[in-house]
Amino acid sequence: MSFQEPFDPTVDLLRRLPGVSADSDATARVRRRCHAVLARRAARRARERQSAGRRGQLLEVIWLLPLGLYLLISAIETMRVASSL
């Protein structure tokens, strides 16, 4: 606050608040919670990667099956046309 601004008792009360200092137990609790959150995120990402891999394999099958059938039918038709000549 500058000297030209009106006095605000709330700011003065906030200035008098004691500083926060964490004890070792609180620090250990926070660290355990953080490690738990990180472990859950890693597990979720691993599950997402597995499901994405399965989806990718399914998409490959969806594309390869019709393509394989098309190539097989093309080969059969080519052999049929070639034998009639």
Instruction: Please list, in sequence order, all residues whose beta carbon lies within 8 angstroms of the beta carbon of residue 22, skipping any fewer than 6 positions away.
Output: 30
Residue 59 predicted with pLDDT over 80: yes
Residue 61 predicted with pLDDT over 80: yes
SS3 60: helix
Average pLDDT for the chain: 87
pTM: 0.42
Give the C-alpha separation, 39 to 58, whole Å: 29
Sign of CA dihedral 57, 63, 66, 71: negative
Residue 63 predicted with pLDDT over 70: yes
- Predicted pLDDT of residue 40: 96
